[in-house]
Chains A and B, each alone.
Chain A
Amino acid sequence: MRLEVEGIGFSYGDRSVLEDVSFSAGGGVLSILGPNGAGKSTLVKCLAGVHRPDAGTANFDGVDLLGARDPGSLRMSYMSQEQPASTTLTVLEVMLLGMFNTLSYRVSDEELDRAMAPLEELNLADLSDRPLNQLSGGQCQMVMVAQCLVSDPQIMVLDEPMNNLDLRRELMMFDTMSRVTRERDLVTVMVLHDINFAARYSDRMMVLKDGQVYGIGTPEEMVTEEMLRDVYGVEALVDRDRSGVPRVDPIRAI
């Protein structure tokens, strides 16, 4: 099971956002990092079928991600940055929408069980009857992550899934995503901003700069003082925590 991306290019009108982006990812967590405007969200939108790239190919297990999307042949979940906070749909209804391609007019008990399972997995079952517009930003974010699991995906593409989460929930969410990725043998692609969390929870990291791949590798390979200077324009010290994971101590903007 492998995600193979080759030569992706994308422009908004005349403005080129992605140029010749190529990478591959097997089972595990691949985090995508880079400064604002580097093209991270655009790249995952291309992978999720939201944008159609100008050039390049993307395959997952032999299925073309960029062609016509047949929900039956591709088990992918995508979480976008836009949150449906204004809706009065309940949490359980939102979960059902995560698998609407397989639902008929009447929802069976088995389908409700499937919709509830990720909520129970993420300790959100108590929220199931609450309207989404009555949840906090963090709770809403957790529900949308849970929704990504409901369709039993093989690949998950999450665009800044930790936004709006407090420290405790962020840790819980990272632990859960790591566990779920491992147990279900998923390919999980996450756009992240926090380099320290990304280093701690990613199997591999890809850094984008100006729409191009700056580098891809293990956290130890990628989180370096040189990368922080070149990509982020930040002077920082990089040391190791007790488990040997790189840790960034920012000093100043260059």
Chain B
Amino acid sequence: METSGKHSGYRTSSRRRVLAIVAMAMASMVLVLLCIAFGETDFSLSEVFQTIFDRESVPRGMASIIWNERIPQALAALFVGFALGVAGAEMQTVLNNPLAEPYTLGVSMSAAFGAALVMAFGIGTSMLGTSAVVVSAFLFAMVTCAVISLVSRSRRSDRVTIILTGVALLFLFQALVNTVQSLSSTEVSNSITFWMFGSLYTGLNQVFAIVVVLVLVLLFFSMNSWRLTALKLGDSKVASMGVNVVGLRRNVIVAVSVLTAIVVSFTGTIGFIGLVGPHIARRLVGEDQRFFLPASALSGALFLLAAHLVCNLSDLTSALPIGVVTSLVGVPFFLYMIHRGRRLAA
């Protein structure tokens, strides 16, 4: 008993962290239900439950809206938020930079360019079919991650250099996407524009594909949670403990690229989830990856679900893309983080 009393500080803090994660998981479930219930036509929660558990007992129109539109979109918000939260958390971990995330570093936009190339010109579709979009998005995400990783390894690089490099890549790929649009038909160009703002109009099959990749990536991150936490001690220290730091960083970057690529190819570019989610998680549960990883995923999911709900509740449902809502919150947050970082540095 004396031993447990001696470690009461650590045990209490661990319990508090688990509670925070459980609370976030429950809040996510509530938001999923609200996202299903509210939209152009509002349903009560009992109607939602009845449709989910006994589809035949409700009017066909209601069942169709809930099963074909609301549930896929709500689940997409949940798992895309989850994926982008995880991607942001691990990019911040391996680059040791709290401003890093797939969107601010240009990874999402490069994946978007890869996907747009296939959408506009059908490159690789003869061999890979529709999965050519994902493969192309992944390859460009990888290239961008590799460039960012190389820049971050340079001794002259500080946090701002890495972010500025990312922003430059973001602009570069944005310009390249615009070039692709100008070279393609009006119809394709319009669909790329719509998709560039981010959209949760996906089917259950796409959501399932995201979940499969997410589970594999989470498994890899969970197996390496102590190593990833140890990166906070500095590369030299971790290398001396027998960890292949270069290999670990490379594998994380590949995993983040896969995750970003699959999300971007299905839902377009939705920014700042990977920035806001891990920041909230860090405040709530600290930087121990055993807690930080699930908390970042859930914070990302909560942010995107809340944004989706705002779109659903407003009268602008069809006019206000999800990416715009996340950016309206994310950009001021990004500026706050930059100024906070400068204040701390000073």
Contacts and interface: CB of A to CB of B under 8 A. Distances in A.
A136 interface: no
B234 interface: yes
Interface in B271-290: 282, 286-288, 290
B7 A112 contact: yes
Contact of B4 (A76, A109, A129): A109
Given A89-B288, A90-B286, A100-B227, A48 B240 contact: yes
B287 A89 contact: yes
A153 B45 CA distance: 60
Contact of A79 (B230, B237, B242): B237
Nearest to B286: A88
A87 B230 CA distance: 11
Given A89-B288, A100-B241, A101-B241, A112 B226 contact: no
A97 B230 contact: yes
Contacts of A87: 232-233, 287
A50 interface: yes
Q: How big is the A interface, by class?
A: 35 or more
A129 B290 CA distance: 18
A84 B93 CA distance: 13
B246 to A, nearest CB: 11
A245 B86 CA distance: 57
A78 B234 contact: no
A88 B7 contact: no
B3 interface: yes
B6 A116 contact: yes
Contacts of B225: 105
Classify the secondary structure of B's interface with A: helix
Nearest to B12: A129
Interface string A43-65: 00100111000000000000000
Nearest to A73: B242
Interface string B210-243: 0000000000000001110110111111011110
Given A97-B226, A109-B4, A129-B13, A89 B242 contact: no
B226 A80 contact: no
A71 B232 CA distance: 19
Contacts of B227: 100
A69 B225 CA distance: 20
Nearest to A113: B3
A90 B287 CA distance: 9
A94 interface: yes
Contacts of A116: 6-7
Contact of B242 (A80, A101, A105): A101
Interface in A79-113: 79-80, 82-84, 86-90, 92-94, 97, 100-101, 103, 105, 107, 109, 112-113
B221 to A, nearest CB: 13
Contact of A69 (B4, B242, B288): B242
Nearest to B7: A112
B119 to A, nearest CB: 42
A94 B242 contact: no
A45 B286 contact: no
Contacts of B290: 105
B237 A78 contact: yes
Contacts of B96: 86
Contacts of B240: 48-50, 69, 76-78, 80, 157
6 contacts: A48-B239, A50-B239, A88-B287, A90-B13, A101-B241, A109-B3
Closest CB pairs A-B (n = 8): A78-B240, A100-B226, A80-B236, A48-B240, A82-B234, A69-B242, A71-B242, A87-B232
Interface of B: 3-4, 6-7, 9-10, 13, 96, 225-227, 229-230, 232-237, 239-242, 282, 286-288, 290
Interface of A: 45, 48-50, 69-71, 74, 76-80, 82-84, 86-90, 92-94, 97, 100-101, 103, 105, 107, 109, 112-113, 116, 128-129, 131, 157
